[in-house]
């Protein structure tokens, strides 16, 4: 009898553990579905690639600031620059997030493939940082920056010199 209890217990444990691996992680498709720093960044770039400017704008604070080696942009100027982009593919790597209270800071590299203003996007990876703040309406991006000198940013999308 004890042997059967052990066998049944082991089988139930195996079934329970297998249930944790049966369902794959559901990829975040919109900023509203994102729950952490990594998913916020992936959703942001998914929206930029899909040209969902309404979702991008709704998740940027009214006092949003974009900074790059070429200068500083406010929310509307950043959106105008992003609208010039035609991102075909992107690859995010080296992503780290830090949570402090209701603020996420995400740092990562991104390689973009596509065009901006009809010209090819820089092929080299760009180092970026975003700051997200949780508000009543959800996660809002308050700042985004391209880090590096002008040569490494290569006319980074969303910068004044981007064509």
Q: What is the pLDDT of residue 157?
A: 54
Tell me, yes or no, whether 117 lies in a domain: yes
Mean residue pLDDT of the chain comes to: 80
Tell me, yes or no, whether 142 lies in a domain: yes
Question: What CATH number corresponds to the domain at position 101?
Answer: 3.10.450.50
Whether the pLDDT of residue 83 is over 60: the answer is: yes
Closest C-alpha to 162, from 109, 88, 83: 83
Tell me, yes or no, whether 8 lies in a domain: no
Closest C-alpha to 98, from 74, 71, 129: 129
Whether the pLDDT of residue 159 is over 80: the answer is: no
Counting the structural domains of the chain, the total is 1
Tell me, yes or no, whether 69 lies in a domain: yes
Tell me, yes or no, whether 6 lies in a domain: no
Tell me, yes or no, whether 32 lies in a domain: yes
Q: What is the pLDDT of residue 11?
A: 54
Tell me, yes or no, whether 68 lies in a domain: yes
The more confidently predicted of residues 145 and 4 is 145
DSSP labels, the chain? -HHHHHHHHHHHHHHHHHHHHHSPPPPP-SGGG--SHHHHHHHHHHHHHTT-HHHHHHTEEEEEEEEETTEEEEHHHHHHHHHTEEEEEEEEEEEEEEEETTEEEEEEEEEEEEEETTEEPP-S-EEEEEEEEEETTEEEEEEEEEES-HHHHTS-TTSTT--
Tell me, yes or no, whether 2 lies in a domain: no
Q: What is the pLDDT of residues 6-42, one digit of tens each?
A: 556 555 554 454 454 444 444 555 555 555 678 899 9
Domain around 81: 27-153
């Amino acid at each position: 009898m004890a042997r059967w209890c052990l066998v049944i217990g082991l089988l139930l444990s195996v079934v329970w553990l297998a249930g944790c691996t049966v369902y794959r992680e559901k990829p975040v498709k919109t900023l509203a579905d994102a729950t952490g720093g990594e998913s916020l960044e992936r959703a942001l770039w998914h929206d930029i690639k899909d040209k969902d400017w309404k979702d991008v704008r709704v998740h940027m604070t009214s006092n949003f600031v974009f900074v790059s080696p070429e200068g500083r942009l406010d929310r509307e100027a950043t959106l105008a620059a992003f609208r010039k982009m035609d991102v075909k593919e992107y690859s995010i790597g080296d992503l780290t997030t830090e949570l402090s209270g209701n603020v996420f800071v995400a740092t990562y590299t991104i390689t973009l493939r596509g065009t901006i203003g009809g010209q090819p996007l820089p092929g080299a990876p760009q180092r970026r940082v975003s700051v997200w703040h949780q508000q009543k309406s959800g996660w809002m991006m308050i700042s985004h920056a391209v880090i590096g000198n002008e040569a490494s940013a290569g006319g980074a999308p969303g910068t004044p010199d981007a064509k």
